[in-house]
């Protein structure tokens, strides 16, 4: 074999585990929660360390469900959301969730996210999110400024009256009447 042919056959290899953590977090932010938890964070030890950096988890957006996510059941998505909340190390500022959200998850967020400012919930099962779970979260997350609420539980306004930082409120799918 000629020397030139040997050189062409030699493939330049890179050690992807040596990428700087800040560069990885930028890439991970584009992947989304499920992509990081189920893939990127499992590549190697250095990628796992980058995937655990709290700044990556200040915003947990699981409201727009990708096709890949649709294969997971509600309990698995709820467990992933809990891991994401835990990885924020108390710095979670934005949480956006869909039908998988439950009272258990809202309590988990409330217990671990004192700096939560934005909450977006879209849930259509009145048994998964109740007034009790929603109230629990709002009593612990006193910095909430923006709430988008599209759920079928009644009387959310009673809980919201205590939120002094609240600036934006969007209610959909709720009935407001004189009876409550």
In this prediction, residue 17 carries a pLDDT of 74
**Residue 119: which of 151, 147, 97 has the closest Cα?**
147
For 10-47, the pLDDT digits (tens) are 556 677 778 888 888 888 888 888 888 888 777 888 88
Res. 84: pLDDT tops 80? yes
Q: Can you tell me the distance from the alpha carbon of 88 to that of 68, in angstroms, rounded to the nearest whole number? A: 23
Its pTM surpasses 0.85: no
Contacts of 68 (CB under 8 A, 6+ apart): 34
According to the model, what pLDDT value does residue 67 have? 41
* DSSP symbols for 14-37: --GGGS-HHHHHHHHHHH-HHHHH
Q: Which residue has the higher pLDDT, 7 or 50?
A: 50
> Can you state the percent helix, strand and coil of the chain, rounding each to 5?
45, 15, 40
* Residue pLDDT, tens place only, 100-136: 899 999 999 999 999 999 999 887 776 788 888 888 9
């Amino acid at each position: 074999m000629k020397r030139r042919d040997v050189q062409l056959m030699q493939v330049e290899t890179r050690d992807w585990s040596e990428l700087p953590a800040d560069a990885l977090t930028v890439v991970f932010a584009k992947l989304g929660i499920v992509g990081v938890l189920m893939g990127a964070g499992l590549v190697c030890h250095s990628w796992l360390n980058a995937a655990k950096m709290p700044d990556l988890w200040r915003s947990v957006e699981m409201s727009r469900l990708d096709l890949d996510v649709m294969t997971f059941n509600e309990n698995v998505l709820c467990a992933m959301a809990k891991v994401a909340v835990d990885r924020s190390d108390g710095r979670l500022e934005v949480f956006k969730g869909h039908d998988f959200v439950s009272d258990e998850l809202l309590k988990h967020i409330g217990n671990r996210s004192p700096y939560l400012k934005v909450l977006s919930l879209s849930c259509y099962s009145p048994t998964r999110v109740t007034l009790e779970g929603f109230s629990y979260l709002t009593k612990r997350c006193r910095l909430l400024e923006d709430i988008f609420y599209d759920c079928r539980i009644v009387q959310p306004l009673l809980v919201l009256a205590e939120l002094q930082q609240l600036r934006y409120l969007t209610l959909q799918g709720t009935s407001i009447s004189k009876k409550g």
